[in-house]
Chains A and B, each alone.
Chain A
């Protein structure tokens, strides 16, 4: 699928899955100030320019910070692991899962992860999740 095709969709596509199974996030980048946006935006949130181009980032990322949520919203089975990731200059929040299950502990800052497709909460819609290097997590400092 070309970037051109994606921009014509009514619902903006959050990500595409590559041949290697890795998730590439669909980002818009401002032509004027170079800010990246995820989900993609038609207008730059930093400078207001409508000159934005579609880009893909990932699937490799690095954990900035992470937590195990033990009291969460009703739609989510606890505990579950979340992490802020840095992915090619973009900061994005992702669930941390391995083999379809949440990691069992917070990941330490700096942990390398790979974005793959997964599911969260009670939603059947596939989303992006971060897969830690070793199954399960428990790498907290």
Chain B
């Protein structure tokens, strides 16, 4: 396996864009990517697109928008982890030597599905008795608060932190700060979760370029190294499951750390999957970035704030940016690209050199999540 470089990042949408299909949003992100990197479209020799609701051959339709047709093009579906999975496949293609210059793009239009909670598979035994994603995370929250004797306002504090970060992010769907009272006054969704503990449904796309060292050197923009890239699926069983410990995140991160030759102590900045405020606490612990049952204490002490010891979701996370399902994983990696190349504008942290992006999801019974993807990026 050879080294793989990330040489560009772009987005499209990340707000309500009813009527603009996933392929149109993806095309918008791809055009911005071509413009910012200066890559000639005919150098793109592989493309991996991700979408859950965007339909057949979304990636071919999107790449037609930048004049690329002919090379191998794939559309992958891995629920919320689709974007991270597409990046992983682009990484595999370049690392193996099969590709010199691969694009990953994720896109989703959720407005066109109508409002409310996202549809889960209707043939699932849990969906049949009324399961929705917020309910699954509400139960994880109840157990976390109970098992570690945590005051419930810690859930509000995650939202307040991430919305404060998002207020600085021009790409965020929500750019207004909220305080604890706002969170507690928002509509109850599934006890103890309220509306402001849940990420918004958003339409959007994100695209990124992955290259060999030789191609990276020829492009106008800065590049960072992909030090670790891992995808794992959820272990299926109907036995007891400790729902405060997302095992899939622990297993995927162990693989990514090992590949990168790094440990959690080496990470300077994190973008992780805060689809619900409780998720940030659970995943911070499962990533090894906080001791078991202690993430809530470190959050309260400000350690995960932008100016804390380990900024977590300095972009505002899913809670601010929104969650166009398969675009999210690439959006997170892009936020790290801008941080690690010193081009994050108002969001810029003081000189981070190692970033970790984590995306996980997929609500099917019998697993933590359907899939998880983790990338470790180095300046």
Q: Which residues of A contact B (CB under 8 A)?
A: 35-39, 45-46, 64-73, 76, 80, 82-84, 86, 89-95, 105-106, 108-109, 120-121, 123, 127, 140-141
B129 in the interface (beta carbon within 8 A): yes
Is B142's CB under 8 angstroms from A82's CB? no
Is B190's CB under 8 angstroms from A69's CB? yes
Q: Which has the most chain B C-beta neighbours within 10 Å: A71, A73, A80, A140?
A: A71
User: Which listed residue, B143, B238, B239, touches A65 by the CB 8 Å rule?
Assistant: B143
A-B contacts, 19 listed (Cβ < 8 Å): A38-B125, A46-B236, A46-B237, A66-B139, A69-B138, A71-B117, A71-B134, A71-B190, A73-B130, A82-B130, A82-B135, A89-B240, A90-B239, A91-B238, A91-B239, A91-B241, A92-B238, A109-B143, A109-B147
User: Could you tell me the distance in whole angstroms from the C-beta of A81 to the nearest C-beta in chain B?
Assistant: 9
Is A67's CB under 8 angstroms from B139's CB? yes
- B residues within 8 A CB of A39? 125
- B residues within 8 A CB of A123? 128
Contacts A73-B132, A127-B129 given: A37-B190 contact, CB under 8 Å?
no
Q: Which has the most chain B C-beta neighbours within 10 Å: A66, A86, A120?
A: A66
User: Could you tell me the distance in whole angstroms from the C-beta of A100 to the nearest C-beta in chain B?
Assistant: 15
Q: Which residues of B contact A (CB under 8 A)?
A: 116-117, 125-126, 128-132, 134-135, 138-140, 142-143, 145-147, 187-193, 236-241, 243, 365-366
Is A140's CB under 8 angstroms from B239's CB? no
Least CB separation from A41: chain B residue: B238
Number of A-B contacts (CB under 8 A): 112
- A residues within 8 A CB of B143? 64-65, 109
- A residues within 8 A CB of B236? 45-46
Task: Give me the 5 closest cross-chain CB pairs, A-B, nearest first.
Answer: A65-B139, A67-B138, A68-B191, A70-B188, A65-B143
Is A36's CB under 8 angstroms from B238's CB? yes
Least CB separation from A89: chain B residue: B239
- A residues within 8 A CB of B243? 64-65, 84
Is A95's CB under 8 angstroms from B189's CB? no
User: Could you tell me the distance in whole angstroms from the C-beta of A2 to the nearest C-beta in chain B?
Assistant: 23
Separation of A68 and B128 alpha carbons in the complex (Å): 16
User: Which listed residue, A73, A90, A105, touches B238 by the CB 8 Å rule?
Assistant: A90
Separation of A91 and B365 alpha carbons in the complex (Å): 10
Separation of A66 and B140 alpha carbons in the complex (Å): 9
Is A93's CB under 8 angstroms from B365's CB? yes
Is A121's CB under 8 angstroms from B130's CB? yes
Is B238's CB under 8 angstroms from A38's CB? yes
Separation of A37 and B239 alpha carbons in the complex (Å): 8
Is B131's CB under 8 angstroms from A106's CB? no
- B residues within 8 A CB of A64? 139, 143, 240, 243
User: Which listed residue, A46, A76, A140, touches B130 by the CB 8 Å rule?
Assistant: A76
User: Could you tell me the distance in whole angstroms from the C-beta of A26 to the nearest C-beta in chain B?
Assistant: 12
Separation of A46 and B367 alpha carbons in the complex (Å): 11
Separation of A82 and B117 alpha carbons in the complex (Å): 16
User: Could you tell me the distance in whole angstroms from the C-beta of B343 to the nearest C-beta in chain A?
Assistant: 39
User: Which listed residue, A72, A120, A121, touches B132 by the CB 8 Å rule?
Assistant: A72
User: Could you tell me the distance in whole angstroms from the C-beta of A68 to the nearest C-beta in chain B?
Assistant: 4
Is A45's CB under 8 angstroms from B237's CB? yes
Separation of A57 and B116 alpha carbons in the complex (Å): 35
- B residues within 8 A CB of A68? 188, 190-191
Separation of A122 and B193 alpha carbons in the complex (Å): 25
Is A67's CB under 8 angstroms from B130's CB? no
Separation of A31 and B135 alpha carbons in the complex (Å): 33
Contacts A93-B365, A140-B191 given: A35-B238 contact, CB under 8 Å?
yes
Contacts A35-B238, A46-B237 given: A66-B142 contact, CB under 8 Å?
yes
Is A91's CB under 8 angstroms from B240's CB? yes
User: Could you tell me the distance in whole angstroms from the C-beta of B368 to the nearest C-beta in chain A?
Assistant: 12
Is A69's CB under 8 angstroms from B239's CB? no
- B residues within 8 A CB of A105? 191
- B residues within 8 A CB of A37? 238
